[in-house]
Amino acid sequence: MRRRLGSPALSPHRHSLPRLAIDAVLVGFAYWLAFQLRFDNGPTGRYAKLFDRTVWWVLIVGLLVLLVARVYQRRWRYSGQRDYEAVGRAVVAIVLIVVMAIVVIRPVQIHRVGGSDRGTVAVGLPNGVIALFFLLSLLLLIGVRVLARSLYERRPLGAFRAGARSERSVLIVGAGDGGRLVLREILRNPGLGLRPVGFLDDDPSKHGSRIEGVKVHGDTDGDLPRVLEQAAPDEVIIAIPSAPGSTRARVVRACRERGVPVRTLPTVFELLQDEETAAAIARQVREVRVEDVLGREPVLMELDSVGAYLAGETVLVTGAGGSIGSELCRQIARVGPRRIVLLDHAEDNLFGIERELLDERHVHASVLATVLADCKEEERMREVLTEHRPTVVFHAAAYKHVGLMESNPVEAVRNNAIATRVMAHVAGEMGVGRFVLVSTDKAVAPATVMGASKALAEFALEAATARFHGTRYAAVRFGNVLGSSGSVVPIFRRQIERGGPVTVTDERMTRYFMTIPEAVQLIIRSGSLASGGGSGADVYVLDMGEPVRIVDLARAMIELSGLDPDRDVAVEIVGRRAGEKLHEQLFNGYERPCRTAAEKIMLADREALAPETVEAMFDEIGLLVLEGDAAGLAARVSELSAVRAELSEKVADPDRRAAPAPLIDSRDR
C-alpha cells in the first residue's frame, strides 16, 4: 500500500483554500492599515518603500504560519476557544518573524552622507506599526471566525417571524455546561421549534448575567415561581444531568402547579452509558421520570471497578429474563466475562434478553449460553452446572407479587425458598466460587408468604455456608425496584392510562425505592464483598435513604402524566391487604448493621442458625409443599420470623443483647 507523505498541516483540504485566501487578505490588510494609522497621510519615503518591499513577505509568512498552526482543521462555524488561542499564537509568530526578517535581511537601507553618522543604515519597522499590526491581525482573524459562527447560529429572519405562532418558549434550568449545550443546540436548529426565554441557576454569581444573549433570571428556590409567572414558558428543561433529586422535585412541583410540562437531560450515569457525542446531548432530553422526583439520590458505582472480579469468569444468572436478571446480564456483559449463562424457565423472556445482548450490546455469540430450565429441578440444575462450570452464580429467579403469592403459598415457597436451597446446594457441590442471592426487605420480620419465602431463602444460604466452605454465599437485601415486574409503578401507570382511580391501600404506607441499575450494581458489588468462611452467609443491605409515601408516589405519577390528581385522576384509599405492613424495615431486630468496605452498603450481622435447625425447618416446609397443604404452609411460614428471632436470642451473647445494636465496621469482626 502506498503511503501519502507530507504533513497534514501543510496540506489543507480544498474546502480550506477559500478560508486561507481570506486570512491572507486580512493579514495583508492589517499590515497596510497599521502603516496608514501610524502615519497621518500614509507612509512616505523610506517607510513607503519598506511597506512595498515587505508586504509580500507578510503574506507568505502569514500563510505558512497559519498552516503550521493548524487553524484550518475545523470550519469557522464550529470555532471555539481553542481555535481562537491557536490564531493568537499564530499572530504572535507572524509579527515576530516579520520583525526579525526585516532586522536580518534589511530590505531598505539609507545612506547618510553628513555628520559623524555617515554610512548605510537599515530602516526598521516603527514600534507603532508593530503594535498596530499585531492588534489588527488578531482582531481581524478572530473577528471573521466569530462572525462566521454567529451567522451560522443565527436563525433565519423568517424563523423569528414565525416564532410567535409556532415556536414553544423554553425556560432552561441550569446555566452550566449542560444548559449552554442545550441553548446552543436550540439556536443552531430552528427545526426544533424552541425559543429560549431565560435560565435559572442556583449559583448567585450567575444571576443577572447573559449567556449567548439569554438572561439568568434567578435560582430554582425563591425565584422559580416568579419567573414562571413572568416568562410564562411553554416548557421547562432541566439541563443539570447531576441535579439532586430535591432540586428536580422542586422544579417539577412548581411547574405542575402551573401546568407547565418539564423535561430533563439524562443523568451523568445515562450519559456515560451512551456513545453519542456531546453535541447530541440536547437531543437526548427526555420526559421527567418517577425516580427524578422522589428526592433520593441514586447510589451509582463505577461498574468497571466493582465488577472487575467477573472479568474472565463464567457467570450463571438465574431468572435471566426478569427485570433484575436481565439488567444483571446487561451489566455483567460490560465487564468482559469469559461466558454468561442465561437461565430462565420463561421462554419469551429468555429469548428476549438473548437477542438484546447479541443485537444491541454487541456481545459475541460465543460468550452467551442460554438454558431453558427450572431452578426447582435439582437434577437438571446439576446437569447445567456440570456442563458450564460457572464460577459465579447470581440467583435472581423469584416470584415477587405479594398478593399473588398470598393466594398461592405453595408455589411461593417452592419457587422462592426450596429452589434457592437447591441452587445453593448444587453450587456448593460443584465448587462455585461465589453464590449471590437476590433478596428483599420483605424478608425482614415477614408478614406475608412472599416475605417469609425469601426469609427462608436467606436461611438456606446459612446452612449451605456451614456445609460448603469453598463457596462464598451472600444475600443482597433491598427495597422496591422502580419499574420491575413486582413494583407498584407499572400498576399505577396502567391505572392512570385507564383514567383512574389510582388505588393506594393506606395513605400512611411508606416504602423504600431504588432504580433497577442501582439495585443491580449493589448486587454485583456485594458479590465482590462476600467473605466466606464466616459463621453464616453474608447479608448485604443498601443504605436506601428515607422511605417514600406511596400516596405521594401515586400523585407524582399522575402529575408526570400531565394530569391533576385532585381533578383528573382520583387517588382512592382501598385499605390494607392481609399481612401488608405500613412500613418496611431493612434489618431484623436481632441483626446489627455493620459498615463494609463499600460506601452505602451495610452488612446485617447476626448469629448463624445451626445447619440442622435449618434442615429441620426445610424438611417440615418441604413436606407441606409436597402435600399441597396451603393452609398449613401459610400458618407455618408466618411463624418463621418469631422462631428465627427466638433461636438467635438463645445463641446470642447476653451482654450484647442488653445493649442497643451499634453500627460497627464489618472488617473488625
Distance CA 266, CA 239 (A): 9
For residues 427 and 384, give the distance between their C-alpha atoms in angstroms, rounded to a whole number. 11
Using DSSP, state whether 216 is helix, strand or coil: strand
Which pLDDT value is given to residue 434?
93
Phi and psi of 588, rounded to 5°? -75, 160
* Alpha-carbon dihedral angle through residues 118, 121, 123, 127, given to the nearest 10 degrees: -80
- pLDDT exceeds cutoff 50 at 553: yes
Averaging pLDDT over each range in 410-419, 488-497, 548-557, 582-591, which range is the top one? 410-419
CA distance readout (Å), 35 to 62, 138, 144, 591: 17, 16, 21, 87
- The whole-angstrom separation of Cα 195 and Cα 170 is 6
Kindly write down the DSSP assignment for every residue of 129-144, as one continuous string.
Answer: HHHHHHHHHHHHHHHH
Residue 614, all three cell numbers: 435449618
The alpha-carbon radius of gyration of the chain (Å, integer) is 36
Asked whether the beta carbons of 153 and 75 are under 8 A apart, the reply is no
Which strands sit side by side in the sheet containing 168-173, from one edge to the other? 194-200, 168-173, 235-238, 262-264, 286-287
Cβ burial, residue 366 (10 Å; 0-12/13-18/19+):
exposed
Q: Given a cut of 60, is residue 1 above it in pLDDT?
A: no
Strand 538-542 and strand 592-595: pairing? unpaired
- Cell numbers 425563591 correspond to 222
- The whole-angstrom separation of Cα 393 and Cα 325 is 11
CA distance linking residue 70 with residue 61, whole number of Å: 14
Q: What is the model's pLDDT at position 394?
A: 96
Tallying the residues shown for the chain, one arrives at 669
Asked whether 386 and 430 are in contact (CB, 8 A), the reply is yes
pLDDT of residue 579: 65
pLDDT at 234 over 90: no
Q: Which helix (H) or strand (E) holds 43?
A: none
DSSP string, 579-594: T--SB--SS-TT-EEE
Could you give phi then psi for residue 444, rounded to 5 degrees?
A: -85, 125
Q: Where are the alpha helices (DSSP H) in 120-176?
A: 127-153, 157-166
Chain centre distance of CA 413: 37
- The answer to whether the predicted template modeling score (pTM) of the entire model surpasses 0.75 is no
In degrees and rounded to multiples of 5, residue 475 shows phi and psi of -115, 145
In this model, does residue 9 exceed pLDDT 80? no
DSSP calls for 396-461:
------HHHHHH-HHHHHIIIIIHHHHHHHHHHHTT-SEEEEE--GGGSS--SHHHHHHHHHHHHH
pLDDT for the residue numbered 119: 63
Is residue 383's pLDDT more than 90?
yes
Question: What's the Cα-to-Cα distance from 608 to each of 423, 504, 516, rounded to whole Å?
Answer: 20, 38, 30
Backbone angles phi, psi at 100, to 5 degrees: -65, -40
Question: Is the pLDDT at 586 greater than 90, yes or no?
Answer: no
Q: Which element (helix H / strand E) includes 571?
A: strand 571-573
Tens digits of per-residue pLDDT, 435-486? 999 988 888 878 788 888 888 898 889 889 888 988 999 999 887 777 666 6
Per-chain mean pLDDT for the chain: 78
pLDDT at 10 over 50: no
Weakest mean pLDDT among 27-31, 287-291, 621-625, 648-652: 648-652
Picking from 56-65, 148-157, 379-388, 545-554, which range would have the lowest pLDDT averaged per residue?
148-157
Mean pLDDT of 68-73: 71
User: What pLDDT score does 281 carry?
Assistant: 45
Question: How is residue 218 annotated by DSSP?
Answer: -
Asked if the bond preceding 501 is cis, omega within 30° of 0, the reply is yes
pLDDT at 607 over 50: yes
Q: How far is CA 588 from CA 68, 123, 538, 605, in A?
A: 71, 94, 14, 10
Burial string for 620-658 (b: 16+ CB within 10 Å, else e) reads ebbebbeeeebeebbebbbebbeebbebbeeeeeeeeee
27-45 tens-digit pLDDT: 889 888 888 888 877 777 8
pLDDT computed for residue 664 by the predictor: 45
pLDDT at 270 over 70: no
Helix (H, G, I), strand (E, B) or coil at 601: strand
Spatial distance between the Cα atoms of 96 and 125, rounded to a whole number of angstroms = 11
Q: Which amino acid is at 378?
A: E
Query: In this predicted model, which residue has the larger pLDDT, 55 or 646?
Result: 55
Is pLDDT above 90 for 407? no
Residue whose C-alpha cell is 415556536: 167
Distance separating alpha carbons of residues 661 and 51, to the nearest angstrom:
89
pLDDT tens-place string over residues 319-367: 999 889 999 999 898 888 999 999 999 999 999 999 988 886 567 888 8
pLDDT band at 397 (very low <50, low <70, confident <90, very high): very high
Write down the pLDDT at residue 3: 37
Q: CA-CA distances (angstroms) from residue 656 to 47, 538, 605, 651?
A: 98, 20, 12, 11
- The larger pLDDT score, comparing residue 139 to residue 292, is at 139
Q: Are 446 and 639 spatial neighbours (Cβ–Cβ below 8 Å)?
A: no
- pLDDT value at residue 583: 80
Residue tagged 486570512 (cell numbers): 23
Model confidence at 207, pLDDT cuts 50, 70, 90, reads confident
Rounded to an integer, the average pLDDT of 379-398 is 94
Q: Which helix (H) or strand (E) is 49 found in, with range?
A: helix 45-68
